[in-house]
Structure 1
Amino acid sequence: MIRFALTRLALLLVGLLVASALIFVTLRVLPGDVAQVIAGTDGTPEQVQAIRESLGLNQPLLAQYGDWLGGILSGDLGRSMLTGASVTSELVEKSQVTIPLAVLSLATALVIAIPLGILSALKHRSITGSAMSMASQAIAAVPVVWAGMLLVVVFAVGLGWFPPQGFPRDGWEAPGRALYSLVLPALTIGVVEGAVLLRFIRSAALEALGQDYVRTAAAKGLTRTRALVTHGMPNVALTVVSVLALQIAGLLVGAVIIEQLFNLPGIGRMLVTDVGNRDLEKVQGDVLVLTGLVLIIGTVVDIVARAIDPRQREVSA
C-alpha cells in the first residue's frame, strides 16, 4: 500500500510537470500579443518592443518557462502582465468563491445521487425505478448552462426565492448572504452531476444485490433494503469514491460556466477575463491551479480506493 501511494505521488509530480509545460506552450502559440494590448491601439512598434522586453517576452521560450517554473517551486505564480497584481493573491481571493461553490455542488450531488441511486436499484423492476432511471439519464444529458438558466427562470425570476446573479461585495464577512447567493449555482451543478453519479450508484447497487452474500443475508430474514445497506454498501461506497475524481473535474468545468452565468467573482470567471485580455501569466496560473486540483484529487481518490478495497490490496501485495 505504501509503495502504491508513493508511486501515485511520483506520477502526480510528473503529471504536474507535463501539465505545466503543455499549458505554457499552448498559451504561447495562441494568436495575439499582450504587449500590443498593453500599448493600446496607438502604441508604436518601439513602445510595443519596450513592453515585450520589460515583460521578458523577448527571451527564448525555454528561459521563460524556466523562470515561471522556478517561481512555482517557490510558491510564486507570477504577476499579472496588465496590472502587476500577484497571481497567487488573486487566486486565493477568487478561490473563496469557487471552492465553496464546488463543495456545495458536490454535497448536493451526493445528497441526490446516493439515496435515489440505491432506491432506483431496489425498485429497478417497477415503474418507479424505470422512471427514476430515465429521468436521471435525461437530466445528465442537459448542458449545465441550460439547467442554470431554467433554474433562474423558475426559482429566481418566477418564485423570487433566490437572487438571480451576484455575490456580496463584502464576501464572507456576511456569511449568510454569501451562502445564500451560492445556493442556486450549487444546485445547478449538483443536480446535473448528481444525475450522472446516480447512474453509477444504481449500477453498483444492482451488482451488489446480485452477489451471494447479499442474497444469503436476505434469505436469513433481512429485507433486501437492509441486506443491501448492511452488506452491499462497501461496494457502492467504492464506486462513489472511484467516480468522485471524474465528478470533481466536472464540477470545476461546470464552475467556469456557472460563474459566468451567475456573475460570481470566482476563478472561472477570472480565467475567462484573463484569456480575453491575453494576460499570459494569470492564465497560466489559473489553468495550472485548476489542473493541479484535478490531478491531486484523482491521486487521493486512487489511494483511498486502494485502501478500502481488499481485492486491490491483495493484487498489489
Structure 2
Amino acid sequence: MIRYALTRILLLALGLLVASVLIFATLRVLPGDVAQMIAGTEGTPAQVEALRAELGLDRPLATQYLDWIGGVLTGDLGASMLTGAPVLGELAEKARVTVPLGIGALVIALALALPLGVVAALRRDRASGAALAMGSQLVAAIPVVWAGMMLVVVFAVGLGWFPAQGFPRGGWQQPGAALAALALPALTIGVVEGAMLMRFVRSATLAALGQDYVRTAAAKGLTRTQALLRHGLPNVGMSVVTVLGIQIAGILVGAVVIEQVFNLPGIGRMLVADVGARDLVKVQGELLALTGFVLVVGFLVDLAHHAVDPRQRERA
C-alpha cells in the first residue's frame, strides 16, 4: 500500500507540473495586453511599456514561469495584476460559496443515483425500470444552464420558494438565506450529474446481478434483491468509487457555469471575470488550484479503491 501511494504521489506531482506548464503557456498566447488595459485608451506607448516592466511582462517567459512556480511551491499563487490582492486569499473567500455548492450537489447526486440506479437494475424487465432508465438518459442530456433556468421558473418565479439569484451580503452569517441561495444551484447540478451517475450505477448493479456468487446465493433461497444487498453491493460500491473522481470534476465544471446563471460570488464567476480582464497571474493561479483539486480528488479515489479492492492489492 505504501509503495502504491508513493507511486501515485509522484504521478500527482508530475501531473501538477505538466498542468502548470500548459496553463502558463496557454494564457500567454491569448490575445490582449493587461498593461494596455490598465493604461486605458489614453495611455501612451511609454506608459504601457512602463506598466509592462512594472508587472514583469517584459521578462523572458521562462523567467516568468520559474518565478511563478517557485512561489507556488511556497504556497504563494501570486497577486492580481489589477488589484494587487493575493490570489490565494481571494480563492479562499470565493471557496466559501463554491465548496458548499459542490458538496450539496454531490450529496443530491448520490442520493438520487444510488437508490434509483439499483431499483432500475432490479426492475429492468418492468415498465418502472425502463422508465427510470429512459428518464436518466433524458435528464443527463439536459444542458445544466437550461436545467437551472427551468428550476428558476418553477421554484423561484412560480412558487417563490427560493431566491432566483444572488447571495446574501452577510454570507454565512445569515445561514438560512445562504442555504436558500444555494438550494436551486445545488439541485440543478445534482440532478444532472445524478442522472449520469445513475446510469453507471444501473450498469454496475446489472453486472453484479450476473456474478456467480449472487446467482448462487439466489439459488440457496435468497431473493434476487436479498442476494444483491448481501453480496453484490460491495462491488457496486467499488465501481461507484472508481467514477467518483470524474463526477466531482463534472460538478466543479457545472459550478463554474451555474454561478453565472444564479449570480453567485464563487470561484467560477471570479474566474470568468478575470479571464475577461486578462489578469494573467490571477487566472493561472485559479486554474492551477482547480486542476490541483481535481487531481487530488482522483488521487484519493485511487487510494480508496486500492484499499477496499483486494484484487488491486494483489496486483500491486
TM-score between both structures, scaled by the size of structure 2: 0.99
User: 1:126-168 deviations in whole A, cap 9, x for unaligned?
Assistant: 1110110011011111111111111111111111111000111
User: 1:81-119 deviations in whole A, cap 9, x for unaligned?
Assistant: 001111110000000000110000000000000000000
What is aligned with 2:73?
73
User: 1:240-292 deviations in whole A, cap 9, x for unaligned?
Assistant: 10111110110110000000000000000000000000000110111111111
What is aligned with 2:59?
59
CA RMSD of aligned residues (A): 0.8
One-letter identity of the residue aligned with 2:309: D
Give the 5 Å matches for 1:7-18: 7-18=7-18
What is aligned with 2:209?
209
What is aligned with 1:196?
196
Q: Mind listing any 5+ residue stretches in structure 2 that lack a counterpart?
A: none
TM-score between both structures, scaled by the size of structure 1: 0.98
> Which aligned segments of 4 or more residues in structure 1 are displaced greater than 3 angstroms?
none
Deviation at 1:220, TM superposition (A): 2.2
What is aligned with 1:288?
288
What is aligned with 1:114?
114
What is aligned with 2:245?
245
What is aligned with 2:94?
94
Measure the CA separation in 1 of the matches of 2:191 and 2:271: 24
What is aligned with 1:258?
258
Secondary structure of 1:314's partner? helix
Identity of aligned residues (%): 68
Measure the CA separation in 1 of the matches of 2:226 and 2:35: 66
Deviation at 1:222, TM superposition (A): 2.0
Measure the CA separation in 2 of the matches of 1:223 and 1:180: 43
Measure the CA separation in 1 of the matches of 2:233 and 2:5: 25
Secondary structure of 1:165's partner? coil
What is aligned with 1:160?
160
Secondary structure of 1:153's partner? helix
One-letter identity of the residue aligned with 2:15: G
More deviation, 220-229/195-204: 220-229
Secondary structure of 2:132's partner? helix
Give the 5 Å matches for 1:18-33: 18-33=18-33
What is aligned with 2:104?
104
Deviation at 1:293, TM superposition (A): 0.6
Q: Mind listing any 5+ residue stretches in structure 1 that lack a counterpart?
A: none
What is aligned with 2:139?
139
What is aligned with 1:41?
41
One-letter identity of the residue aligned with 1:34: V
Secondary structure of 2:57's partner? coil
One-letter identity of the residue aligned with 2:56: G
Aligned residues: 316
Secondary structure of 1:106's partner? helix
Measure the CA separation in 2 of the matches of 1:37 and 1:168: 31
Deviation at 1:223, TM superposition (A): 2.0
Measure the CA separation in 2 of the matches of 1:213 and 1:100: 40
Deviation at 1:239, TM superposition (A): 1.2
One-letter identity of the residue aligned with 2:103: V
What is aligned with 1:226?
226
What is aligned with 2:186?
186
Deviation at 1:215, TM superposition (A): 1.5
Measure the CA separation in 1 of the matches of 2:95 and 2:156: 25
Deviation at 1:312, TM superposition (A): 1.4
